[in-house]
Structure 1
Amino acid sequence: MLKKTVSYLALGSSIAVLLAGCSGGATGGTPAESGSESGYNKEGLPLVNEPITLDVLTVRWGNMGDSFTKNAWLQELEKATNVKINWQVMSSNDWGEQKSVMLASGELPDVILGNLALGDSDIINNLTYFRPLDDYIEEYMPNLKAAMEETPVMRKLSTFPDGSIYSLPARLPSRPVSATQPVINKAWLDKLGLQPPTNVDELYAVLKAFKEQDPNGNGKADEIPVSNEGDIEMQLLMPFGITNLRANNMLIQDGKPVFFPTSQAYKEGLKWAHKLYAEGLIDPESFTQDGTMLSAKRQNPDVPLIGFSYQWTPDAVFGKWSDQYVTIAPIAGPDGGKYQEGEPEGLNFRRNEVLITTFNEHPEVTARWIDQFYTSEASIQNFWGAIGTSLEKHDDGTFSLMAPPEGTSADAWYWENSLRDFGPKYVSPSFEKNIKLDPTTGDGLKMELDKLGKEFVTQPYPEVMHTADEYQELPTLTTDINSFIASARAQWVTQGGIDEGWDDYVGKLNAMGLERLIAIYQEAYDRYMSVE
């Protein structure tokens, strides 16, 4: 197999070098002892007696580069296994075009790592490029096999519509159940003598006070009770039981998929949002502003301007005013129930984290190499950084995160030192008790805030796989339907009239093929649930 000899960060020429470094032929998808010429060992280390090199492509956000390859665990793995890695590090900025060229060329590297590289439809529409991995998992990957037995969602998540596994999953460590949570300016509450709101009526009263009683104390009516980027109106529907974690307008209620934009709860939630908007409690620019505009409001240099929003953590976006903001429990809706967007099984799980291509001449060795990542201790080192670099291992078997260099954010440091969100991982739920996080910042803070919302998390529609035919059909349906829904929602929030327009709205959705769209979602859900 032809191998490249450098790590490719010169993205202007990366398409050419990517194709030049890939082998030219495809082989079968079942174990065949093809690595025996290198002295392949079925058990123990090294994996091969004579060194081999694998081309491994991964995509990183923006211009993050390849600093993660210096991770001490990855470097020790090369020494221990005799498997050398030729990293092909691509930037997400350019990857869309590069991916199309790679797939069209019919020439791929040995391994593709990280779910930023290829999505479900990329894989399903090019299945001949990727090895079915079921037999490899059974014969060569005891760590992953054990993980799938302990946590069955790992297998469900990875099973394609034809019943086979082509890409492998990950379970990240110390991830919360709750997604974005309600955040409020506590300093404003204190100044006005108010308590954090617990239901929609109390939230309305608090927002009115924020608008009318000058809580930032500058003598101007410049307070913005509610502001956010994008679909703020969707977040305001959370008290009505409407959440949209995967942006597909679907929920699971009473064990059944529900298309919520035609539900009564959705309708009532939009009436509530219109009430807020009509009284000037929602920033009118919420529907059009970009991140730069919103950041300028959040970090206004003179006084804080925003009272309420939904955030991952309250310390991340408000700049010098961050100390004024706190996360609160979910706001109860008219039915008295509290609802929180999230994932009951945890926001830990990923799929398409690693694929072995049919161009790989050492699939058994590669499978055993990948399996080394599926231990808890290996996984935390590929999420935060190696022991001794980012992690400290204590005599009692616990682990803590080391402080980043001065002037460096913890999150940026973890991305620099590790694969972070990308790549194969499995941290057992029982192992997580050994990870000691700082509850005042970063991942540790989110885990603390999660306690406010986790018991109220709704059941999102799962991350299903679709067939190739469904992927052909879905864009035709969703493009028009989703655009119409978003347009109608914005109009009803800003102008009202939902009662008068509701029947016509539902009729137009049906004419656009809503029944067929729901049927596709139902069929995919049934397939997903059938995986044992």
Structure 2
Amino acid sequence: MRKKRKAIYAILAATLLGSMIAGCAGGKSEGTQGTEGTADNGGGEKTEARTLKIMAGVIGGKTPEENGLFEKEIERLTGITVKLEKPASDYDKKLLAAVSSGEKFDLLQISKEKMNTFIEQGILTPLTDKVKGSETLSDPNVIPSEEWAQVETKDGEIYGVFTKYQGGTMPIVRNDWLKKLGLPEPKTLDDYYTVLKAFVEQDPDGNGKKDTYGLSTAGMYELQGFFSAAGLKQRYVEKDGKLDVPYSTDAAIPIYEWLAKLYKEGILDPNFATNDTGKMRDLFLTDRVGMITYWDAWVGMLNNTRKEQDPNTEFEAKGLPGAVGPDGNHMLRRGDPDVWVIPVNAENPETAFEFIEWWHSKDGIILGSLGIKDHDYTEQNGKYELTQTGKEHAMDHGVPFWYNKNVEPPFGKLPGVQEAQDLLAKYASLELTPPRWADAEKIINEYSFKAIMGQMPAADAVKKCGKS
């Protein structure tokens, strides 16, 4: 798998390098169209076309049709003509396939992990000087100065600019079920077991059937709140100059055994290993499970979704700090940021950077959050009102939260979000995500699943992870 992945990246890098050379080699006579993506202004000076080709995973419309409206809205607000490609699924695979086939993009929305990989392959444009020279991006009120450390390389270069403020993950509980069953918020791992078991056995949805689970996850996705009980962080940590994966150490064994107990007793959703995040959320929204592990922003979006369906609902999602650790503290995860990057073969890099700056302006933030004017919201004299479509979209077109302190949320924050963010501010920290984390993650997931599903003793699974 690693050899195959390296081969793909090598092809991708070579393709992009070839595109650069080809782009520089083709000359045109004066006064005609210059190299693709530029035009001669009559004085011999090349100016970029105000067009952009963008590929994004979550930024844009909620449907292909709405994506077209999103493109038109960008053009209305910026004068830039945009072609936005937003795959419905398997974003990373389609991104790699498109770029390695020679397809050119001016902007890509990617994860920090993917950015690190692309930096290694030499296929991204360094943006350090542009960021430092940008009146917008160098303003600490737009992006706090200390945040740039998240995306800087060891030599201080910047290749990616934040697409949004990235929150963090935590256990999210049906707080209305806690109240209904008279249960306190769990603090220790034993408390969590008691609560999750009650969600299975005490009919929290009130339908007279034993048809609820205590916990559902999307595989090993965001279990930091439980591994907190052992003081273990997800992904890599640096120890004595070496990289270590805490989930693959002996200290993790009791947590795997705890999860295996949940699975054996029918408290953990039996489909956890094959769930995607959508299936996990649906179980939570349809009264099938009492707790999931997910992002802080979704506390508000889950509450908003049920409220839109039924204004009188008692449904209440609430973020929790996870299980208390041996030092008496909690350990949550601050997510790696998503970033805008400009490939080295971008045809309109100056226009792309102009767009990045605009994305952090009020107009860009309103588009990325509320959405499209007269479709998701209406505005008159500075007063905003969401349409029914906008309410369903929960003010998230890729930017549920942002850094810019000069832009206030027009409707405040969705229910439960501020409390969740307060927990993250108190307990969450960033994680180290080297370029090839995905390779290690597959191995960890493989043996973690075996331990949780009782196919292998937890101690043996941990040893397998450590040797791989």
Q: Deviations over 1:103-132 (max 9, x none)?
A: 444x735x22433899436743663x6544
CA positional deviation for 1:327: 1.0
Task: Determine the C-alpha separation between the residues in 2 that align with 1:102 and 1:171.
Answer: 20
Structure 1 residues 186-225: aligned runs within 5 Å: 186-187=176-177, 189-225=178-214
CA positional deviation for 1:485: 2.8
Corresponding residue for 1:92?
Answer: 87
TM-score relative to the length of structure 2: 0.69
- The answer for unaligned runs of 5 or more in structure 2 is 1-18, 26-36, 58-62
Task: Determine the C-alpha separation between the residues in 2 that align with 1:411 and 1:260.
Answer: 37
Larger Rg: 1
CA positional deviation for 1:266: 1.4
Corresponding residue for 2:451?
Answer: 492
Q: Deviations over 1:439-491 (max 9, x none)?
A: 444xxx4234322443122x232455x4xxxxxxx48xx64x54443233223
**CA 1:355–1:487 in 2, change beyond 3 Å: closer, same or farther?**
closer
Corresponding residue for 1:323?
Answer: 314
- The answer for unaligned runs of 5 or more in structure 1 is 1-20, 28-33, 41-47, 79-84, 467-473, 513-532
CA positional deviation for 1:57: 0.9
The residue type paired with residue 57 of structure 1 is K
Structure 1 residues 364-379: aligned runs within 5 Å: 366=351, 369-370=354-355, 372-373=357-358, 376-379=361-364
Is the partner of 1:438 in helix, strand or coil? coil
Root-mean-square deviation over aligned CA pairs: 4.8
Q: Deviations over 1:159-180 (max 9, x none)?
A: 4567644x4302626x64x324
Aligned residues: 419
Which one of 1, 24, 35 corresponds to residue 26 of structure 1?
A: 24
Which one of 417, 422, 431 corresponds to residue 461 of structure 1?
A: 431
Corresponding residue for 1:350?
Answer: 338
Task: Determine the C-alpha separation between the residues in 1 that align with 2:284 and 2:131.
Answer: 48
Q: Deviations over 1:303-348 (max 9, x none)?
A: x3423333431426777696333315324336363424332xxx59
CA positional deviation for 1:273: 1.9
**CA 1:103–1:435 in 2, change beyond 3 Å: closer, same or farther?**
same
Task: Determine the C-alpha separation between the residues in 1 that align with 2:419 and 2:378.
Answer: 20
Is the partner of 2:362 in helix, strand or coil? helix
Which one of 358, 371, 386 corresponds to residue 404 of structure 1?
A: 386
Which one of 422, 436, 441 corresponds to residue 451 of structure 1?
A: 422
Q: Deviations over 1:5-53 (max 9, x none)?
A: xxxxxxxxxxxxxxxx9995138xxxxxx9996499xxxxxxx9x9852
Corresponding residue for 2:328?
Answer: 337
Task: Determine the C-alpha separation between the residues in 2 that align with 1:254 and 1:182.
Answer: 35
Corresponding residue for 1:59?
Answer: 55
Is the partner of 2:266 in helix, strand or coil? coil
Which one of 156, 160, 164 corresponds to residue 168 of structure 1?
A: 160
The residue type paired with residue 461 of structure 1 is E
Structure 1 residues 244-393: aligned runs within 5 Å: 244=234, 249-251=235-237, 258-289=244-275, 297-298=283-284, 304-311=287-294, 312-313=298-299, 314-315=302-303, 323-333=314-324, 335=326, 337-343=328-334, 349-351=337-339, 353-355=340-342, 357-358=344-345, 360=347, 366=351, 369-370=354-355, 372-373=357-358, 376-384=361-369, 390=377
Q: Deviations over 1:245-266 (max 9, x none)?
A: xxxx324689985411233431
Task: Determine the C-alpha separation between the residues in 1 that align with 2:371 and 2:172.
Answer: 34
Quick check: 1:26–1:359 contact (8 Å CA) kept in 2? Answer: no
**CA 1:86–1:118 in 2, change beyond 3 Å: closer, same or farther?**
farther
Q: Deviations over 1:141-185 (max 9, x none)?
A: 3333445997345544444567644x4302626x64x32433135
Task: Determine the C-alpha separation between the residues in 2 that align with 1:86 and 1:448.
Answer: 40
Identity in percent:
18
**CA 1:391–1:379 in 2, change beyond 3 Å: closer, same or farther?**
farther
